Amino acid sequence: MPPDRLNAVRARPWTLILVVGFALFMDYLIYGAAMPLMEHAPGSSAGEQHLGLLATAYAVGVLGATPLFGWLCERNGCRGPMIEGVLLAGLATVLFVVAPDFPVVLLARLGQGMASAAVWIAGLALIAEHYSGRRVEMMGYALMGSTGGAVLGPLLGGWLYEASGYTLPFLVLLVLIAIAAVLCILLLRDSQASASKSPGLLTILSDRSVAVPAVAVALAAAGWGVLEPLLPVHLARLGETDAADIGLLFAAATIVYGASAPFVSWLTERISVRWTIVLGMLGMAATLPLICVSDAFGFILVALCLVGVSFALLLNPTAAELGNAVERRGLVCYAAVYSVYNIAYCVGMLGTASVAASIAAHLGFFHTLLLVSFLLLLCVPAMVLATRPAREAVA
């Protein structure tokens, strides 16, 4: 493609959203596709100890690499770390294919987590940097990619494993990663490095306008994270749905989530980010238990879509508000603040997924959803008080 035409494509408003959205889609697709394959990995006993180590390795990779890639983005701009994250995901996937034993699989899972940290920090920082007026809406469209990847990943991994064994899913993922790498290299615009020294993570977290949205991000991740490992098991026990039906349910919820982005953006302009976040918490608390009210496929579909709307109300404004908080301080350290986002989402999603599985084994799916709803409701008063404007708090 001629340079002039390539620059014209890069400058189009939707190019950045599509590239970042696809990268986030790939990140969660890889994560989800690997989940059902870990018990078949070389050297894995499929026992709780090995599977627990693999989950821990991923989390360590994310949390350990987050400060590094945040620093790199602030120092050199976000385009380079974004490309590096996609390439690192490819390297980790190659390790899964060639791994002769469990330690190499563990290393691959660690690299997968590090790649995720790079893609998320750089991707969200790029959106925050290039979109200010429609930040809530654009964040929603990009995050739709991650939700879709999380939904389709386990299904893709399971289907391809049943079709041809352990290696095929990772080979397909490598093809998709190559596409993501080409898109990032060709279409991402250069991002300017921060001219001033960025405050550290502890300094940023001490700012209430950052800490409160970060907590809301963790709550949103927890609300959705409880469904990903438990709902397919619940539907399988009902005996009336197969893998295609489960995929349809999550795909529909993902589409509804993405389609909600303009509405969520409009609502934040009418009732403020604060009350949109609170509405999302209340909505998620109310809609999660609805999934178990009826065994009818149509009812579960509607209930899951309502959860998707609540998820958008809670997550989209918080993701955008972190960028707004940086600008209110007169800074441009988007990568640093989205490092906080990365940590919060990782803690909320991975922590809930592991704990919920243990709780559900004793309480059942419905009571687990009720427990998560109750915890969300408990957090509503604290969120209302914590997000009060300074003048209102003084009054």
Segments making up each domain of the chain, as ranges:
1-193, 198-387
Q: Note the pLDDT of residue 391.
A: 43
Place of tokens 């997550």: 315
Q: Note the pLDDT of residue 192.
A: 61
Q: Note the pLDDT of residue 172.
A: 93
Residue 188, amino acid: L
Q: Note the pLDDT of residue 377.
A: 93
Q: Note the pLDDT of residue 176.
A: 94
Kindly give the parts of the chain with pLDDT less than 70: 1-2, 36, 39, 43-52, 55, 191-203, 205-206, 240-244, 247, 330-332, 351, 353-354, 357, 387-395
Q: Note the pLDDT of residue 174.
A: 95
Name the percent of the chain in helix, strand, coil, to the closest 5: 85, 0, 15
Q: Note the pLDDT of residue 392.
A: 41
Give whole-number Cα distances, 277 to 217, 219, 254, 311, in Å: 10, 11, 19, 10
Q: 77: closest CA among 10, 24, 125? A: 125
Backbone φ, ψ for residue 192 (5° rounding): -75, 140
Which residues lie below 8 Å from residue 334, measured CB to CB, with a gap of 6+? Answer: 73, 78, 124, 125, 128, 129, 323, 326
Cβ pair 118, 73 in contact under 8 A: no
Question: What is the CATH number that goes with domain 1-193?
Answer: 1.20.1250.20
User: Could you report the per-residue pLDDT of 223-247, keeping only the tens digit for each?
Assistant: 887 887 778 778 877 776 665 677 6
Q: 176: closest CA among 23, 41, 58, 17? A: 23
* Dihedral sign, Cα of residue 33, residue 38, residue 41, residue 46: negative
Give the tokens for residue 51: 């599977």
Q: Note the pLDDT of residue 393.
A: 37
Which residues lie below 8 Å from residue 384, measured CB to CB, with a gap of 6+? Answer: 274, 278
- Inter-residue long-range contacts of 355-363, CB under 8 Å, 24+ positions, other chains counted: 356/225, 356/226, 356/229, 356/230, 357/229, 357/230, 360/230, 360/233
The reply to whether 198-387 shares the fold of 1-193 is yes
The Cα 292–Cα 306 span in angstroms is: 13
Q: Note the pLDDT of residue 88.
A: 96
Cβ pair 44, 50 in contact under 8 A: yes
The Cα 378–Cα 266 span in angstroms is: 27
Please give the full DSSP string across 18-49, using - where no structure is assigned: HHHHHHHHHHHHHHHHHGGGGGGSTT---SHH
Give the tokens for residue 46: 């499929």
Give the domain 198-387 fold.
Growth Hormone; Chain: A; (1.20.1250)
Burial of 385 (0-12, 13-18, 19+ CB in 10 A): exposed
H helices of 99-241, in order, are 102-130, 135-164, 167-187, 201-205, 208-225, 227-238
The Cα 216–Cα 205 span in angstroms is: 13
